Amino acid sequence: MVLTRLGSGLRTRPSRRTVSTAASALALCWFFGFSIADGASSVAAPGAIRGRVELRQPPADHEPRPNVADLGMHTSHGATDRRRSVVYLDPGPRAAFDARDEPHARMDQRNETFMPHVLTILAGSTVDFPNNDRTYHNVFSLSKTKTFDLGRYAAGRSKSVRFDKPGIVRVFCEIHSHMSAYILVFSHPYFAVTDDQGRYRIENVPPGTYTAIAWNEAMESQSRRITVADGGEADLDFSLSRQ
């Protein structure tokens, strides 16, 4: 069971482990996604899940390698917001798979930073990677979910990638080692990214009992059961620890 695996104690690096376990969870979510969640009803009024994800030890910003060959101070780069977490249902309600569109999402490159640092999309989405920086960037990923290399392109240009498979995609810049980002690809729309205070809200959830998972790149993922009443709002908080 995915939930058991997420809570188990494999001792690897925090972000890596989180990636691999959550990727497995997303993949299985996609695989088993057509199963009906406990008690879900297609005629009842949808509800919502809201809450807060607390990070006990917020992860530090990404830093460049200590390149002693530089002839001067490295120009400062934008801060990477690694406090963003993602809460999602696993598996999603059946209704989630009835309709699909092919939306576009956007991940900017500005001040040697990917913005946003965590992007959540539906499978089938296309993500644009505009370069709004002063220098070349080379966006690439070696993730199993999606492997791609957009090559080097200048400011003002944009390239796109379509993500068809659910899972976690870690994105890097080949030129700037401190640039990285995450794209979480879901097969259903029941997910939300936390705001500055760690709050989230998942809308339009059909009534039923679900498993919700909170993910953060540097934290141990946490799963909890939650019941959404007919047209009601369910509160669910998480507290994530470093691995």
Partner 1 sequence: MIKILSLTALLWTLLPSAAAAQLLPSEPVRLFDGRVRLGGEVSATIGAKDDEAFFNYTDYERNTLRMFRIALSGVWQPAARVAFLGEVRSEDLEQPGAYAAYIRVRPWPNVPLDIQAGRIPPVFGAFGRRRYQSDQILIGYPLAYQYLTSIRADALPATADDLLRMRGRGWRSSFPVGSPEPTPGLPLISAFRWDTGVEATWSTPLFDTALSITSGTLGNPRLRDDNGGKQVAGRMAGRPATGLVIGGSAARGAWISDSVPHAAGSHAQTTLGADVEYSRDHWLVRSELVWSRWDVPFWTSPAEGSTIGALARWIEGRYRLTPRIFLAGRADWLSFSTLTGDMFGETPIAWEAPVRRLELGAGYSVQRNLVVRAGVQMNRRDGGRAEKRTFSSTQVVWWF
Binding site for partner 1 (CB under 8 A): 12-13, 16-17, 19-20, 60-73, 134-136, 140-142, 147-149, 151-155, 172
- 43 by DSSP, 3-state: which? coil
In the complex, the smallest distance separating the C-beta of residue 29 from partner 1, rounded to whole angstroms, is 21
Nearest 5°: the CA angle 73, 62, 65 is: 50
Q: Which is nearer to partner 1, 11 or 196 (CB)?
A: 11
Smallest distance from partner 1 to CB 148, Å = 6
- β-partners of residue 240 are 55
- In the bound state with partner 1, the residue whose beta carbon lies nearer, of 163 and 238, is 163
Dig out the tokens for 122 from the structure. 């539906």
Which of these, 50, 87, 22, lies nearest to 243 by C-alpha position? 22
Rounded to whole angstroms, how far apart are CA atoms 128 and 158?
7
CB of 94 to partner 1, least distance (A): 34
Nearer residue to partner 1 within complex by CB, 151 or 231: 151
* Distance separating alpha carbons of residues 189 and 89, to the nearest angstrom: 9
Nearer to partner 1, 1 or 60 (CB): 60
- Tokens 């030129």 appear where? 175
Q: Burial, 114: exposed, middle or buried (Cβ in 10 Å; 0-12, 13-18, 19+)?
A: buried
* Smallest distance from partner 1 to CB 64, Å: 7
Identity of the residue, 21 or 211, whose beta carbon is nearer to partner 1 in the bound complex: 21
In the complex, minimum distance from the CB of residue 9 to partner 1, in angstroms, rounded to a whole number: 15
Sign, CA dihedral 26-122-48-55, equals positive
